[in-house]
Structure 1
Amino acid sequence: MSAPLPLLRSLVRPLVRAVTYTRWLHLLIGSIVPLAGGLIYPGLSSPGPVDWLIAAALPVPPVAAVALVPSARRAEGLQARLMLFPGKHARVRGGTSADDAATGVSATPSASWTDRGRTALWLVFRMEAGLAAWLLSIWLLQCALELAGVGVEEPVLASLTPPSAAPFLAPLPALALLVLVVAGGRLDERVARRLLGPSVKERMAALEDRTERLLERNRIARELHDSLGHALTLAVVQAGAARAAKDPEFTDRALAAIEETGRSALEDLERVLLLLRETGRRPAGASPGLDEAARLLDSARSSGARVDADITGPVEDLPGPVSREAYRMLQEALTNALRHAGPVPVTVRVTADATRLRLQVANPLPDGRPPAAPGSGSGLRGIRERAALLGGEAKAAVRDGGWHVDVSLPLR
């Protein structure tokens, strides 16, 4: 008993959707051109099949020529979005990739001859399909009126239907017209997706835009991981050392270091949030570079680590991207040392020359045991990603009883 209900719903649902009838209207609008042309020639006072063929064929060249105008594709795309698809995107006047993904129809001017050719095919299809839909609609309405007993000038079923059965068959042409409305609208929508959909060039541009957004998100995620992870690690280590020392003077120094580290982390967080909000404002301060490495080293020392640092070469003259990424890589290497080994001796070597920057961070392992799954953490993965983006390489491994991070970056 319940089996026919889903089938009935699936049959009735399209008939109560507004988009079904806007699609049909969109299809019928295409018949205006051949009907107007047919009134001029060959004339539609008493047309025959040949007359309808002429009326359908004569407008094809001028209609296809309209597609040579680049804005024709945009006009057709906007109209298709408005009438063939439900939703708010129908009223969006841009041609963004998000709208294209929602409807499958582009609303940008033709950028190539392929776009013009597809637009020409669409215009011709819309005209011919609209004329066919109009003729079938008129014929089915005539059939319904004749079977219902309403007089028509040109009966089409008088010789085919017994007079006694005609009233019972009257609903059939009306149902056929409803099926035609639904099927014609869906055909119009599918052809629009095929011929007005984004071109290969537009798909590549959308893919590049999406890739850039993903790369930007990954970069922001790395910035948050490195800056906030470093700040929290230092705060935890310094707070633990202060509690263990039970020395008021040491506690004051630890609290001051925690305050400074937290302030720097808040500045980094504000800079990243400005990027995420896309407010158009420039961040208050630039990202720190390797010339500010002394701040990182002092923070590590304040946590109890014994840092032996040797920085040689003109690090203040490094290219901006290299300097900023090297700072973050040094920050993450120090954070890893403090997080996994505690306040142990850490050796930092930074060497810069005319062609390459080399960064080395080493620390002994706690109890001489290597960490589980060495090199698999998100921080070390971030170091490798940063190095790869700059054309360099980064390695992390256990060597000579210690944990070593080696980064090599080209400067050209």
Structure 2
Amino acid sequence: MVRLLLPLTHALTYTRWLHLLVGAIVPFVCAMVYPGLSSPSPGDWVLIAVLPVPLVLAVAMVPSARRAEGLQARLMLFPGPLARVRSDEEPGVSAAPSASWSDRARTAVWMVLRLETGLVIALVTGQLMALSLSLAGAAAGDPGFADPLVRVSGGSWGYVLLAPVPVLALVAVAAGAGALMAQAARRLLGPSLKERLSALEERTERLLEGNRIARELHDTLGHALTLAVVQAGAARAAADPEFTDRALETIEETGRAALEDLERVLAGLRETGRPLGSRPALDEAGRLLESARSSGARVDAEVTGPLEKLPGPVSREAYRMLQEALTNVLRHAGPVRVGVRIAVEEAWLRLEVRNPLAEAASAVSAAGVGGGSGLRGIRERATLLGGEARAGQDGREWLLHVDLPLR
């Protein structure tokens, strides 16, 4: 009994009911022209149901008709943010214009189904409401107060107990019909194959953008924090005021650059679609090498070829890869000797970073081969550019080798 009465408390029941009744407007307007609504026969009702169909089919061929029907279905057939019926499920109803004849055909079927169902629900609503009024009139001694198909004879106060029954039955019918129409809307007004592919592409773009921003933050903040930790530790161990001043200066410069990168990334997040702004390129690699040297690492760099003529995407991503490689060296091996080789060849950019693999750091570094987020980010950057990145033990050294195509 509680389940039968539950739809009475849901606003969704009444919005679906209204949506169904709106579908009956067109056949009733047509019926006023022909054959009329004055004591129509069963044959007249069949004619009333059939006559508007060609008009509805013609309207369904207009692309914007699908958008209008989709918006109405979303608004009235599915729970809204203030509904007592909670649902995290997406309606699955498109609100885009028809883009193909398949869309037009599905829209036409939906509009005809809505018309016919609305007409039936309107007739059932009229009859059940008339029956309820007739029962209430019979309780008052006037059963002819309304004229339903089911006649009520006599007069008795007992009829007052039956008067709510047709109303409850009507609500149950409206709730069931509304639920069925919601399912039909998902099938007939759901996104087409082209729309699903477009939505999938948008989701993929968002995921890629999120991964790119995560890599940017990881590289920038990870590099800055690693340098700060190494510099602070070295300054404390040295106990030399002059060295401490240089360390603090390096930490300040690195922190300022990290804050600028952080502000640039956050600005892109605040404004959807805004580019992340200018990013450092490989011709600024000297700044990274000096930062590593100031942390105590002995960096031997070999650069061949014009770095300033590299394609923008290759140059920017290679800068981040070098930054992450030097950060990993300082984090896992400490201030050791580091060999950096950057070679610009005819069709490739080759980047190598190698450092002694100390026994104490061997286990830590080896653990990063498969699961380290830094090395994983380097591999992802290289793959997106059509290149390759390899990292592993090479004799008694740890070697990172990256090949990036220039075309």
Contact kept, 8 Å, 1:395 with 1:405, in 2: the verdict is yes
Q: CA deviation at 1:374?
A: 4.1
Secondary structure of the structure 2 residue equivalent to 1:211 = helix
2:395 counterpart of 1:403: no
Q: What is the rounded CA distance, in whole Å, between the counterparts of 2:74 and 2:378 in structure 1?
A: 45
Match of 2:353 among 356, 361, 376: 361
Q: What is the rounded CA distance, in whole Å, between the counterparts of 1:349 and 1:163 in structure 2?
A: 104
Q: What is the rounded CA distance, in whole Å, between the counterparts of 1:317 and 1:153 in structure 2?
A: 89
Match of 2:110 among 99, 122, 146: 122
2:281 counterpart of 1:293: no
Name 1:50's counterpart in structure 2: 43
Match of 1:237 among 213, 230, 233: 230
2:96 counterpart of 1:108: yes
Match of 2:322 among 330, 341, 349: 330
Q: CA deviation at 1:44?
A: 2.6
CA distance 1:190–1:141, change in 2 (3 Å) = same
Q: CA deviation at 1:282?
A: 6.1
TM-score (norm 2): 0.90
Contact kept, 8 Å, 2:134 with 2:147, in 1: the verdict is no
What one-letter code is carried by the residue in structure 1 that aligns with 2:130? Q
2:343 counterpart of 1:351: yes
| Structure 1 unaligned spans of 5+ | 1-6, 91-99
Q: CA deviation at 1:273?
A: 0.6
CA distance 1:162–1:200, change in 2 (3 Å) = farther
Match of 2:220 among 222, 227, 238: 227
Q: What is the rounded CA distance, in whole Å, between the counterparts of 2:386 and 2:220 in structure 1?
A: 23
CA distance 1:43–1:116, change in 2 (3 Å) = same
What one-letter code is carried by the residue in structure 2 that aligns with 1:323? S
Secondary structure of the structure 1 residue equivalent to 2:400 = strand
Q: CA deviation at 1:101?
A: 7.1
TM-score (norm 1): 0.89
Q: What is the rounded CA distance, in whole Å, between the counterparts of 1:315 and 1:293 in structure 2?
A: 9
Q: CA deviation at 1:307?
A: 0.5
Contact kept, 8 Å, 1:309 with 1:347, in 2: the verdict is yes
Secondary structure of the structure 2 residue equivalent to 1:47 = coil
Structure 1 stretch displaced more, 377-386 or 117-126: 117-126
Count of residues in Structure 1 that have an aligned counterpart in Structure 2: 394
Match of 2:196 among 203, 225, 236: 203
CA distance 1:267–1:167, change in 2 (3 Å) = closer
Q: What is the rounded CA distance, in whole Å, between the counterparts of 2:291 and 2:386 in structure 1?
A: 29
Match of 2:68 among 68, 75, 78: 75
Q: What is the rounded CA distance, in whole Å, between the counterparts of 2:110 and 2:92 in structure 1?
A: 14
2:131 counterpart of 1:139: no
Q: CA deviation at 1:298?
A: 0.3
What one-letter code is carried by the residue in structure 1 that aligns with 2:294? S
Q: What is the rounded CA distance, in whole Å, between the counterparts of 2:176 and 2:95 in structure 1?
A: 25
Q: CA deviation at 1:365?
A: 1.2
Q: CA deviation at 1:172?
A: 2.7
Q: CA deviation at 1:162?
A: 8.9
What one-letter code is carried by the residue in structure 2 that aligns with 1:77? G
Q: What is the rounded CA distance, in whole Å, between the counterparts of 1:408 and 1:112 in structure 2?
A: 45
Structure 1 stretch displaced more, 210-219 or 177-186: 177-186
What one-letter code is carried by the residue in structure 2 that aligns with 1:384? R
Contact kept, 8 Å, 1:289 with 1:320, in 2: the verdict is yes
Contact kept, 8 Å, 1:314 with 1:353, in 2: the verdict is no
Contact kept, 8 Å, 1:313 with 1:353, in 2: the verdict is yes
Q: What is the rounded CA distance, in whole Å, between the counterparts of 2:89 and 2:306 in structure 1?
A: 49
Give deviations 1:83-110, integer Å, cap 9, x for gaps: 22343599xxxxxxxxx97432222211
CA RMSD of aligned residues (A): 2.3
Name 1:179's counterpart in structure 2: 172
Name 1:4's counterpart in structure 2: none
Secondary structure of the structure 2 residue equivalent to 1:286 = coil
Name 2:367's counterpart in structure 1: 373
What one-letter code is carried by the residue in structure 2 that aligns with 1:172? V
| Structure 2 unaligned spans of 5+ | none
